Amino acid sequence: MNFKFAHNNYNVFDLEKSLAFYEEALGLKETRRITPESGEFIIVYLGDGSTNHLLELTWLRDWDRPYNLGDNEIHLAFKVDDFDAAKEKHKQMNCICYENPTMGIYFINDPDGYWLEVIPTR
């Protein structure tokens, strides 16, 4: 058997706000969408255009409150070729939630509070 990553999922409270954030902050673009006739959920897959890994955002019509992320130790990591420019952009977006200068990384928050690690390409 040979297992390969397909995608990660985050449930989101405001799909349009999340889509705008992921495109602006990380350059992720919608690759496909699942919208059943019932309208009970929408699933949107986002890709970076250079790998096969996808981020699945799931919106649930009947979910009426922000998601409780607990201690939020779960995160996705993104490598970036221009770390300083990325960090400046995220400072301007006011979404940096944690910095670790010793390790040379930082984290940003998406609109639902999920953490996204940004690391330089080494």
Q: Could you give the residue numbers annotated as active site?
A: 117
Backbone angles phi, psi at 26, to 5 degrees: -130, 0
Looking only at the bridges linking them, the beta strands covering 54-60 and 105-109 are unpaired
Nearest CA-CA partner of 77 in 43, 107, 112, 122: 107
Q: How far apart are CA 19 and CA 35, in angstroms?
A: 15
Paired tokens of 84: 């300083």
Q: How far apart are CA 42 and CA 34, in angstroms?
A: 6
